[in-house]
Amino acid sequence: MSHVWTQARRAARMNPSIIREILKVTEKPGILSMAGGLPSADTFPVDALKSACDRVLTQAPREALQYAASEGFAPLREWVAARVAALGMNVKPDQVLITSGSQQGLDLAAKILCDAGAPVAVETPTYLGALQAFTPFEPLFASLASDEEGPRPEAIAALPHDAPGTRFSYLLPNYQNPTGRVMGAQRRQDVVEASRRAGVPIVEDNPYGDLWFDAPPPAALSSLWPEGSLYMGSFSKVLTPGFRLGYVIAPTELYPKLLQAKQAADLHTPGFNQRVVYEVVKDGFLDQHIPVIRARYKANRDAMAAALRAHLPAGCEWQSPQGGMFFWIRLPAGLDAMALLPQAVDAGVAFVPGAAFYAQQPDPRTLRLSFVTLTPELIHEGVEKLGRVLHEALEPVAEHAP
Amino acid sequence: MSHVWTQARRAARMNPSIIREILKVTEKPGILSMAGGLPSADTFPVDALKSACDRVLTQAPREALQYAASEGFAPLREWVAARVAALGMNVKPDQVLITSGSQQGLDLAAKILCDAGAPVAVETPTYLGALQAFTPFEPLFASLASDEEGPRPEAIAALPHDAPGTRFSYLLPNYQNPTGRVMGAQRRQDVVEASRRAGVPIVEDNPYGDLWFDAPPPAALSSLWPEGSLYMGSFSKVLTPGFRLGYVIAPTELYPKLLQAKQAADLHTPGFNQRVVYEVVKDGFLDQHIPVIRARYKANRDAMAAALRAHLPAGCEWQSPQGGMFFWIRLPAGLDAMALLPQAVDAGVAFVPGAAFYAQQPDPRTLRLSFVTLTPELIHEGVEKLGRVLHEALEPVAEHAP
Task: Identify the pLDDT of residue A36.
Answer: 85
Asked if A361 contacts A33 with a C-beta cutoff of 8 angstroms, the reply is: no
* B270 contacts A242? CB cut-off 8 A: yes
Residue B38: name the closest of B171, B212, B236 by CA: B236
A103 → closest Cβ in B101, B266, B273: B266
> What is the predicted ipTM?
0.95
Spell out which residues of chain A touch residue B236, defining contact as CB-CB under 8 Å: 67
DSSP per residue, B272-314: HHHHHHHHHHTTSHHHHHHHHHHHHHHHHHHHHHHHHHHHSPT
Continuous H helices in A35-172 = 46-59, 61-65, 74-83, 101-113, 128-134, 153-157
Q: How far is B331 from chain A (nearest CA, A)?
A: 29
State yes or no: cis peptide before A178, omega within 30 of 0: yes
Task: Identify the pLDDT of residue B396.
Answer: 66
Q: How far is B6 from chain A (nearest CA, A)?
A: 6
Spell out which residues of chain B touch residue A17, defining contact as CB-CB under 8 Å: 260, 263
Task: Identify the pLDDT of residue B30.
Answer: 87
Q: How far is B98 from chain A (nearest CA, A)?
A: 13
What percent of chain B is predicted at pLDDT more than 70?
A: 95
Q: With b meaning 16 or more CB within 10 Å and e meaning fewer, what string describes A294-304? A: bebbbebbebb
Give the pairing of strands A32-33 and B32-33.
unpaired
Task: Identify the pLDDT of residue B2.
Answer: 53
Task: Identify the pLDDT of residue B399.
Answer: 53
Interface size between A and B, measured as CB pairs under 8 A: 265
Q: For B381-397, what is the mean pLDDT?
A: 92
Q: What Cα–Cα distance (Å) separates residue B328 from each residue in A91, B18, B365?
A: 43, 17, 10
* B241 contacts A7? CB cut-off 8 A: no
Q: How far apart are CA A83 and CA A60, in angstroms?
A: 25
Instruction: Give chain A's residues under pLDDT 50.
Output: 1, 401-402
Classify B32 as helix, strand or coil: strand
Q: Which domains does chain B have, with CATH numbers?
A: 9-44+287-400 (3.90.1150.10), 67-284 (3.40.640.10)
Task: Identify the pLDDT of residue A29.
Answer: 80
Residue A139: name the closest of A104, A109, A164, A114 by CA: A114
Give the model's confidence band at B118: pLDDT under 50 very low, under 70 low, under 90 confident, else very high: very high
State which residue of chain B sits closest to A1, comparing Cα positions.
Answer: B253
Rounded (to 5) percent helix, strand, coil in chain B = 50, 15, 40
B67 → closest Cβ in A38, A67, A137: A38
Task: Identify the pLDDT of residue A18.
Answer: 67
Q: Quick check: B402 pLDDT over 60?
A: no
DSSP state of A199: T
* A265 contacts B137? CB cut-off 8 A: no
Task: Identify the pLDDT of residue A251.
Answer: 97
Asked if B148 contacts B127 with a C-beta cutoff of 8 angstroms, the reply is: no
Task: Identify the pLDDT of residue A1.
Answer: 41
Give the model's confidence band at B1: pLDDT under 50 very low, under 70 low, under 90 confident, else very high: very low
* B133 contacts A11? CB cut-off 8 A: no
Q: What is the pLDDT of residues B126-162, one digit of tens each?
A: 999 999 999 999 999 999 999 999 999 999 999 998 8
* A8 contacts B112? CB cut-off 8 A: yes
